[in-house]
Amino acid sequence: MTILVTGATGNVGRHVVEQLLGKGHRVRALSRTPQLATLPAEVEVVGGDLTKPETLGAAFDGVSGVHLTTYNGSEAPLTTGPELAELVEKAGVRRVTVLWSGQEGSVERAVRGGTAAWTLIQPGEFMSNSLAWAEAVRVDGVVREPYPQALNATIHEGDVAAVIALALTEDGHEARTYRLSGPQALTVPQKIAALGAALGRELRYVELTDEQARERWRSSGVSAEAIEMLAAWHSNPPPEGYTVVPTVAEVTGRPARTYAAWAAEHVERFR
Reported as half-sphere exposure (CB side, CA atoms, 13 A), residue 248 has a value of 25
Q: What's residue 233's pLDDT?
A: 85
Reported as half-sphere exposure (CB side, CA atoms, 13 A), residue 183 has a value of 13
265: domain CATH number is 3.40.50.720
Stretches in the chain below the pLDDT threshold 70: 74-75
Q: What does each C-alpha distance from 41 to 16, 18, 37, 38, 65 come to in angstroms?
A: 15, 11, 11, 9, 20
Q: Tens digits of per-residue pLDDT, 60-90?
A: 999 999 999 998 776 678 999 999 999 999 9
Domain membership of residue 169 (yes or no) is: no
Domain membership of residue 250 (yes or no) is: no
Question: What's the alpha-carbon Rg for the chain, to the nearest Å?
Answer: 19
Q: What does DSSP assign to residue 130?
A: G
Q: What's residue 74's pLDDT?
A: 67
Do the strands 204-207 and 142-145 form a parallel or antiparallel pair, or are they unpaired? parallel
Residues 52 and 135 in one domain: no
Residues 80 and 149 in one domain: no
- The number of domains in the chain is 2
Residues 56 and 141 in one domain: no
Residues 109 and 42 in one domain: yes
Domain membership of residue 248 (yes or no) is: no
Residue 145: φ, ψ to 5°: -145, 155
Task: State whether the Cα torsion 146-148-150-154 is positive or negative.
Answer: positive
Q: What's residue 102's pLDDT?
A: 75
Residues 196 and 237 in one domain: yes
Q: Tens digits of per-residue pLDDT, 108-139?
A: 999 999 999 999 999 999 999 999 999 999 99
Domain membership of residue 191 (yes or no) is: yes
Residues 22 and 41 in one domain: yes
178: closest CA among 122, 108, 250? 122
Domain membership of residue 103 (yes or no) is: yes
Residues 29 and 133 in one domain: no
Residues 54 and 141 in one domain: no
Residues 50 and 31 in one domain: yes
Q: What's residue 80's pLDDT?
A: 95
Does the model's pTM come out above 0.85? yes
- Residues 140 and 189: beta-carbon distance below 8 Å: no
Residues 143 and 116 in one domain: no
Terminal-residue alpha carbon distance, the chain: 41
Residues 216 and 147 in one domain: yes
Residues 29 and 129 in one domain: no
| Residue 235, domain extent | 124-155+181-243+257-270
Domain membership of residue 33 (yes or no) is: yes
